Structure 1
Amino acid sequence: MTRRRFADLRTALAGLDSLPGELVRVREEVPARFGVSSRYARWAGTPAPPPTGPGPAVLFERVRPPSGKPGAVLMGLYGTRARAAALLGLTPAEMSHRLLEAVAAPLPPVRVWDAAPWDRSPRPVDLGQLPIPVLTEEDAGPYLTLGAVLATDPDTGVRNLSIHRMCVRGPDLLTIWMVPGRDLDAAHRAAIRRGRTLPVAIHLGLGPAVLLSSCCPSALVPPGLDELAVAGALGGGPVELLPCRTVAGEYIAHAELVLEGELLADRMPENPDGPHATPEFLGYQGRAHPLLPVVRITGIHARSGAVLQAVSGPGYEQSVLLGFGMEAAVLGRLRRLGAPVRAVHCPTAGGGQLMVVVQWEEKRSPAEDALVPEACATVLEEFRMAKLVVAVDADVDPESEADLWWAMTTRLQADHDLLVLPDREGFPLDPSQSPACSPALSAEGRTAKAVFDCTVAFAQRARFRRPRFTAGMPASPPVPLPPGAPPLR
């Protein structure tokens, strides 16, 4: 893929269309209930259950909703790190640095007034007419899995754009799960204190810079910083906003589908009929919440031929979206500590959050032997989601699972290089973070954390030299792939 940034989802898909193997179009009609998820499962990637692996973005052109006409659903656009970064004209190794630059020099959005360039038209306020996928037979119902919610805090005036799981509970009703204390929850509580509802715009189908910025953790994009300003800097131009039609809010002009509505004070069960919600990004079936806030939809409008973008809970895509922001946040923190860190990688096996690989520059003194575990322990203490940190040297590829296991096998002695931090605040979606799995844990959502120091001691560097093969030899001709084989990643 050429080094070109794509401003919206349409241009991103057009760019992929010209690249063999990057975008698959499914033209047969499939049902929204299980039809999308069952076909995409083979490409979802770990932590989806095997057999699965990295694959193309998949555009289902005719997905049949419970009522209404078939519509398009996109899965897997960010299903590989290379493709996700390339949509912004970057390589995966450049993403952390570019995100840190965007946070340091944000570009605020701009208000525009003419919606005509986006060819938008109103839709009936009936969620049953949208091709919202149901992923498994245990799901509570159709879920918006990549719905990016834009709202403004009535106390601070600061916008927030964030992705939340939302379950369809009626023609105009959604339940929404918000992490307590995060920006959208704070804005909702501020509106309730004022005796008001909170106007929201839910976007389905956004440009890469906007969607990736909405997934950044608060450790990277702190409260008070507008995610849309980060997206503007990341995408190379300000995000354009239009006034909502039915609520006192605004929406992102290039979005494929927009659901306008109000976040109410009312609450209802996420699943009144059972214990499950929808699959979570760590690979397990999600648990339904007994009571969640409710969004009442007041208006729906869409671009002509709108594409509804969704994600399949566990899989590479959600891990990639979460991982880039986590990597930038950890890299920035370690650099502020003065640690000589070359790169940070959050593997998809850890959901892009729970496992962190830190690649160190070549050690310059014996003092850095102690600095490595100390700095890694800081990551575990300051980033609640982080559960495991693996430290490697500059000669180890942090994105290669084989290289990581090789380094762990040949450079780690468990009695010396393994540091355990017991009973720390963790993340309850990991089912092992429970006293039922370890009596040493004091409560649900607590966990033991660990640093695996796979770096070579300064004094022992001569014992661990990897071979260097002669450069300058002519390249071997590529081995042809069999017909229909997926492209190499």
Structure 2
Amino acid sequence: MTGRRLADLRTALAGLDSAPGELVRVREEIPARFGVGARYARWAGTPAAPPTGPGPVVLFEHVRADSGASGPVLMGLYGTRRRAAALLGLEPAEVPFRLLEAVGKPVAPVLLAEDSRPERAARPADLTALPIPVLTDADAGPYLTLGAVLATDPDTGVRNLSVHRMCVQGPDTLTIWMVPGRDLERAYNAALARGESLPVAIHLGVPPAVLLASCCPSSLVPPEVDEIAVAGAIGGAPVELMPCGSIDAECIAHAEYVIEGEILDKVVPENPAGPFATPEFLGYRGRAHPALPVIRVSAITARPGAILQSVSGPGLEQSVLLGYGMEAAVLAFLRERGAPIVSALCHTAGGGQLMLVLRWRKRSGEDDALVRDCCEAVLETFRMVKTVLAVDEDVDPESDQDLWWAMATRLQADRDITILPDREGFALDPSQSTVYSPNLSGDGRTAKAVFDCTVPFALRDRFTRAEFTPEPAGGARRQAARRPR
């Protein structure tokens, strides 16, 4: 798997099939409604309720939709940071650096000639025939949770690729939640201003580089940059496109499913029957929106034996996908500030983008204050980041045990914790409300904090970590030790 260009989802799965314990196949038939979510919960990882833990990729080979049709469903491909990075031939610490480089050097996609396009079969334009999971009995319905939406802004001609929460409202209709102010909403509003709907291609089961690019935040990828071209740079080769059949748009040629349609000038309640949507990535029940735009589906195409890729809201996978893009955006921001060398970034499990670890390489005593200033600047700039944990070069940011050890032995609360009260935050965190804290001026605001677990530069010799000396191999024994650099 490492170092191989993954042109499609199946190449990734083939690499995992040969790695012991990385891929679990569930061969008995299970229902899409509640069955997939309940079975996968044991492997989903925090914030799924215990007992759970980061586990293998799980391919449910026979998932039965409410209509009676069945097909395979994939969960957990990006369920650990290490596996997600390995799909790109990288270590976790290398991913944000690769994403940042890709944004600066995009690789334009190619439109395949008709005689070189992969086989795709037309399916009925009926979403109820797809094995789309329903996680809980409070859900508004089946949700496309990893649907990568490709659209072109009618004013600028720039493509946008992004993942959105889409609820099946009928055989040929979906609602879509677009984050306000993001590129897809701008393209949609531009189409409405012309008196038109916005053609979109929704992809389920795309190459890893494509999905990682689709999850990059707008603070990393400017509106004038094509995310499909960013995906090409991440994967090391142009993404291959082909024309859609029912709309004037393009689609990713090797996607498992492509749902063609248009976002209409029409809104409906996300859940007419209740207050909830589907569980969110922070682990809590999501609130349904009172009015969301409608997508009218005009066609569905699929590869032979198509695999529907999905993600569980409560689980580590979504945090991994969201985290890597945000880490790259933070890295770009810190580089612009001329910060001390950041050698690694890591969004921790269960916090999505809310908790960020920054590993620093201090160069002199002046960096003691500069590290603290940079951490505070990150909190001020990135509204979703609620807590920053700063650590030294000898701490592994991928290890929860190492992080807790650093907090236990390299932090004094009266000098190393900085609190920024009442800042703009992220309303999906239920603690960010005036009901929880009267110190907040409004819902969706939060207190933020820096936990500076870096060693003062002048005291670094006092914090040398002991290491076991290896047995001599034909030479003199030597003392091994590590200290913060």
TM-score (norm 1): 0.95
Provide the rounded CA distance (Å) in 1 between the counterparts of 2:80 and 2:184: 29
CA shift in 2, pair 1:405/1:115, >3 Å:
farther
Corresponding residue of 1:305: 305
CA contact (8 A) 2:2 2:88 kept: no
3-state secondary structure, aligned to 1:349: coil
Q: For residues 5 and 317 of structure 2, what CA distance do their matches in structure 1 show?
A: 19
The more displaced of 297-306 and 88-97 is 88-97
**1:316 CA drift (Å):** 1.2
Q: Deviations over 1:22-45 (max 9, x none)?
A: 111111111110111110000000
Instruction: Write the mapping of 1:219-368 to structure 2, written as runs, cut at 5 A.
Output: 219-340=219-340, 341-351=342-352, 353-361=353-361, 363-368=362-367
- Counterpart CA distance in 2 for 1:441 and 1:180 is 23
Report the AA paired with residue 402 of structure 1.
Q
1:286, distance to aligned residue in structure 2 (A): 0.5
Residue 453 (structure 1) aligns with: 452
State the Cα distance separating 1:350 from its structure 2 match: 1.0
* Partner Cα distance (2:417, 2:216) in 1: 29
Matches of 2:390 and 2:64, distance apart in 1: 48
Q: Distance in 1 between matches of 2:138 and 2:359?
A: 40
* Residues 38-72 of structure 1: CA deviation (Å, up to 9, x unaligned): 10000000011111001110111111111152111
Kept in 2: contact 1:343–1:358 (CA 8 A): yes
CA offset at residue 114 of structure 1? Answer: 2.0
Deviation at 1:402, TM superposition (A): 0.9
Larger mean Cα displacement after TM superposition, 403-412 or 465-474: 465-474
Aligned to 1:59: 59
**SS of equivalent residue, structure 1 residue 12:** helix
Instruction: Supply the distance in 2 between the matched residues of 1:49 and 1:138 (Cα, whole angstroms).
Output: 16
Whether the 8 Å contact between 2:2 and 2:90 is mirrored in structure 1 is: no
CA contact (8 A) 2:117 2:242 kept: no
SS in structure 1 at match of 2:350: helix
CA distance in structure 1 between the partners assigned to 2:471 and 2:212 by the alignment: 39
Gapped runs of 5+ residues in structure 2?
A: 474-485
Q: Distance in 1 between matches of 2:114 and 2:51?
A: 48
Alignment partner of 1:50 is 2:53: no
Q: Does 1:90 align with 2:90?
A: yes
The alignment partner of 2:221 has SS state of coil
Looking at structure 2, the residues matched to 281 and 403 of structure 1 have their Cα atoms a distance apart, in angstroms, of: 24
User: What is the DSSP-based 3-state SS (H/G/I as helix, E as strand, rest coil) of the residue aligned with 2:466?
Assistant: coil
Aligned to 1:142: 142
How far 1:113 sits from its partner (Å)? 3.3
CA distance in 2, matches of 1:240, 1:48: 36
Alignment match, 1:73 = 73
What does residue range 409-488 of structure 1 map to in structure 2 within 5 Å? 409-471=408-470
Give me the whole-angstrom Cα distance separating, in 2, the residues matched to 1:145 and 1:357: 27
1:389 aligns with 2:388: yes
- Specify the SS of the correspondent of 2:300: strand
Tell me what 2:165 maps to.
Answer: 165
Matching residue of 1:123? 123
Counterpart of 1:187 in structure 2 is 187
Letter in 2 for 1:124: P
Whether the aligned pair in 2 keeps the contact of 1:102 and 1:234 (CA below 8 Å) is: yes
TM-superposition CA deviations, 1:277-327 (whole Å, max 9, x none)? 001001101010011010000011100000000000021111111111111
* Residue type of the alignment partner of 1:335: R
* Change beyond 3 A, Cα 1:18–1:121: same
Mapped contact 2:66–2:128 kept (Cα < 8 A): yes
Deviations 1:359-417 (A, max 9, x none): 010x3322111111100011011111100000011111111111111111111111111
The match for 2:10 is 10
Amino acid at match of 1:346: H
Tell me the CA shift for residue 3 of structure 1. Answer: 3.1
Are residues 180 and 467 of structure 1, via their aligned partners in 2, closer, same or farther at CA, if it must alter by over 3 Å?
A: same
Q: Which amino acid aligns with 1:184?
A: L
Superposition TM-score, scaled by structure 2 size: 0.95
- Worse overlay, 91-100 or 191-200: 91-100
In the alignment, is the contact (CA less than 8 A) between 1:113 and 1:243 conserved in 2? Answer: no
User: Is the 1:68–1:130 Cα contact (8 Å) retained in structure 2?
Assistant: no
SS at the partner of 1:210?
Answer: helix
Could you tell me how far 1:348 is from its partner in structure 2? 2.0
The runs of at least 4 consecutive aligned structure 1 residues that moved more than 3 Å come to 471-474
Q: What secondary structure sits across from 1:43 in the alignment?
A: helix
2:420–2:447 contact (8 Å) kept in structure 1: yes
C-alpha separation in 2, matches of 1:130 and 1:468 = 54
Q: Give the superposed CA RMSD.
A: 1.2
SS of the equivalent of 2:321 reads: helix
